[in-house]
Amino acid sequence: MGNTSSMLTQYDIEEVQQHCNNAFSQQEIVSLYERFCQLDQNGGGFVSGEEFLSVPEFAVNPLSQRLLTMLDGLNFKEFVAFLSAFSPRATVQQKIEYGNGKVTFNDMLDVLHDLTGQFISEHQREQVLTKVLEEAGYTKESLLVMSDFVKILGSSGLKMEVEVPVD
Amino acid sequence: MNSSEGKLKSSSSELDLDRPNIEDYLPSGSSIQEPHGKLRLRDLLDISPALTEAAGAIVDDSFTRCFKSNPPELWNWNVYLFPLWCCGVVFRYLILFPMRALVLTIGWIIFLSCFIPVHFLLKGNDNLRKKMERALVELICSFFVASWTGVVKYHGPRPSMRPKQVFVANHTSMIDFIILEQMTAFAVIMQKHPGWVGLLQSTILESVGCIWFNRSEAKDREIVTRKLREHSQGADNNPLLIFPEGTCVNNQYSVMFKKGAFELGCTVCPIAIKYNKIFVDAFWNSRKQSFTMHLLQLMTSWAVVCDVWYLEPQNLRPGETPIEFAERIRDIISVRAGLKKVPWDGYLKYSRPSPKHRERKQQSFAESVLRGLELEEK
């Protein structure tokens, strides 16, 4: 652990904890801070997109570009808030809320594009998406909100949990 | 200072061919849930596995762990131990360090006063000159090791000079080379450095047959491969030492070996090096420290304690590819030195991973989506 934890006071830790709705324990926040400092190589107090991409495991993920729009330039408090959706303590509601507001057909198409790359044509993507939407009772014009997501994804199988290593 | 030395340069396409299946090492389960049977909206919208994997990588990843410095545990944390620690600091900086600097200076004087005459006067008598230069290089390395109070325990039979054999070792710092060199004058392949290190490289190390390369030069790779091959075939040449990781790793993990050393048609003799962390963290974090600072840090520590194992020479087995061979040797070394293996290429420190990995995942997901689509249309 060393000296990084001394830069975080108890007050700081509690503030961060509150900000993320107690999704992480205090020890986990200290570990996350160490990690944050490790990623923030130039010491600017925030992690840039480039610094995130220097983690190869992150860079090979198909959703990395999309996540970067949300992650770029986050300070530590916001960083923890972002990761709080992945805490085992976050409720299912909180996890889905993460997928913010209303989702349009084009949003879903974009995500599908991320996941499939150049291996399906745009036309096929549209086709597939329209078909499954209709089967589920929606149309191309529907705007999906949180309650829709809860219905579609169901409470089972929404496995979005990440373990924070604590020394 | 720019970088630690990588041993063999590779173009970006090489980065892919060099790696065996990364999927074998990454957390199990594909990051994109592949739909089976009839396609449903849920299958397309549920991005949670990919998201989770991305978040997991943000929180902790095996690549960054390889390059984390691990300073020894602080023990000076209470009112009794702190003064003791202070005494230790005073002793180390004001007594040990000057003594060591003195030893090193004497060593250099002796070395230079022998090396320069031998190098110039014995120009005609190559055999004798080479022998003496080798002995002198071993000498100056011993002085270096003494200047950190290096306690090195060598296990296994000493390397012999034979043609068609190369030595490979795991890499923690440039001092690996010095520690090995004091026992046997190897010819090492290194990245050309600037500054005083570069000067040493082009003068003294040249005499033991070291090979330079420049990571940033495109054509370099072929030239280097050729030089390696030539060197390894020659009977009089000093045994060749290669660090196939290509970069310094923190002595707790090992990154993937570059296959160049394993396709020379030679016997490969693995060497494992393990530093004892209690005394000092010997990892040279080239991003954080210059080599000079690193040496000074070592000279003001108590000691550098390490074990060196010369392991059983291995040959390419029938039907084995060079990559498999490299992995097998990496296994042998990692087991001996207690290192955890990670599937990353050390050069990812300097460049991004190739898009091929992402594309592979995208491709398999795309195929299953298309399959689902076809099922629908039936």
CB contact under 8 A, B71 and A117: no
DSSP A25: -
Q: If we measure between CA atoms, which residue out of B117, B355, B220 comes closest to residue A114? A: B355
User: Would you place residue A91 in the very low, low, confident or very high pLDDT band (cuts 50, 70, 90)?
Assistant: low
pLDDT at B25: 47
d(Cα B334, Cα B345) in Å, to the nearest integer? Answer: 16
Domain ranges of chain B: 151-347
CB contact under 8 A, B358 and A117: yes
CB contact under 8 A, A56 and B63: yes
Distance from CA of A95 to the nearest CA of B (A): 10
| HSE (side-chain half, CA atoms, 13 Å) at A120 | 29
Strand residue runs (E) in B134-293: 150-155, 165-169, 187-191, 211-213, 240-242, 253-256, 267-275
Q: What is A92-159's CATH topology?
A: Recoverin; domain 1 (1.10.238)
Q: Residue window 55-94, chain B: list those with CB within 8 Å of chain A.
A: 55-64, 68, 71, 74
| HSE (side-chain half, CA atoms, 13 Å) at A144 | 27
Domains A9-90 and A92-159 share a fold: yes
Q: If we measure between CA atoms, which residue out of A38, A116, A167 comes closest to residue B371? A: A116
DSSP B352: P
d(Cα A74, Cα A80) in Å, to the nearest integer? Answer: 9
d(Cα B356, Cα B364) in Å, to the nearest integer? Answer: 12
Asked whether the beta carbons of B210 and B188 are under 8 A apart, the reply is: yes
DSSP B204: I
B366 touches chain A (CB under 8 A): yes
Distance from CA of A43 to the nearest CA of B (A): 12
Distance from CA of B8 to the nearest CA of A (A): 21
A47: helix, coil or strand? Answer: strand
d(Cα B287, Cα B259) in Å, to the nearest integer? Answer: 25
Secondary structure (H, E, C), A86-148: HCCCCCHHHHHHCCCCCECHHHHHHHHHHHHHHHCCHHHHHHHHHHHHHHCCCCCCCCECHHH
CB contact under 8 A, A61 and B363: no
Mutate to test the interface with B, among A65, A115, A144, A167 (most CBs of B within 10 A): A115
Q: What are the distances in angstroms from CA B249 to CA A45, B173, B220, B348?
A: 26, 8, 24, 12
B253 touches chain A (CB under 8 A): no
Q: At what angle do helices B48-59 and A64-71 cross, to 10 degrees?
A: 60
Q: What are the chain B neighbours of A127 within 8 Å (beta carbons)?
A: 373
Domain A9-90 sits in CATH at 1.10.238.10
DSSP B19: -
Place of tokens 């002595």: B251
pLDDT at A3: 38
A166 touches chain B (CB under 8 A): no
pLDDT at B371: 76
Cα–chain center distance at A128: 25
pLDDT at A52: 85
CB contact under 8 A, A62 and B50: yes
pLDDT at B337: 92
Pick the residue from chain B with its C-alpha nearest to A130: B41
A120 touches chain B (CB under 8 A): yes
Report how many Cβ contacts below 8 Å link chain A to chain B.
156
Secondary structure (H, E, C), B52-77: HHHHHHHHCCHHHHCCCCCCCCCCCC
Which letter, b or e, does each residue of B98-119 get, where b requires 16 or more Cβ atoms within 10 Å of its Cβ? eebeebbeebeeebeebbeebb
Contacting residues for B323 by C-beta, under 8 A, at least 6 apart: B17, B18, B19, B20, B259, B262
- Tens of pLDDT, residues A6-41: 477 888 888 888 888 888 888 888 888 888 888 887
Nearest-by-Cβ selection for A152 from B41, B53, B353: B41
B314: helix, coil or strand? Answer: strand
- Tens of pLDDT, residues A104-156: 777 777 777 877 778 778 888 788 777 777 777 777 777 776 667 666 666 55
pLDDT at A136: 74
Q: Residue window 25-44, chain A: list those with CB within 8 Å of chain B.
A: 32, 35, 38-39, 41
B84: helix, coil or strand? Answer: helix
Cα–chain center distance at B299: 22
In terms of pTM, does the model score above 0.90?
Answer: no
Distance from CA of B358 to the nearest CA of A (A): 5
| HSE (side-chain half, CA atoms, 13 Å) at A45 | 3
Q: What are the chain B neighbours of A129 within 8 Å (beta carbons)?
A: 44
Nearest-by-Cβ selection for A59 from B59, B62, B353: B353
- Tens of pLDDT, residues A52-78: 888 888 888 888 888 888 888 888 888
Asked whether the beta carbons of B251 and B282 are under 8 A apart, the reply is: yes
Q: Can you tell me the ipTM of this complex?
A: 0.76
Domain ranges of chain A: 9-90, 92-159
Pairing of strands B187-191, B240-242: parallel
pLDDT at B14: 40
* Tokens of residue A151, six digits: 């219905």
Pairing of strands B240-242, B165-169: parallel
pLDDT at A120: 78
The amino acid that residue B345 corresponds to is D
The per-residue pLDDT string of chain B (378 residues; one tens digit each, 9 = 90 and over) reads 333 333 333 334 444 444 444 544 444 444 555 555 566 766 766 777 777 788 888 888 888 888 887 766 667 677 788 888 888 889 989 999 999 999 999 999 999 899 888 888 877 777 888 888 888 889 999 999 999 888 999 998 887 777 788 999 999 988 898 999 988 888 888 887 778 888 888 777 877 888 877 766 667 777 777 888 888 877 777 888 999 888 888 888 999 888 888 888 889 999 999 998 888 888 887 777 888 888 888 888 888 999 999 999 999 999 888 888 999 999 999 999 999 988 887 777 777 777 777 788 788 778 877 777 776 665
Nearest-by-Cβ selection for B63 from A35, A41, A57: A57
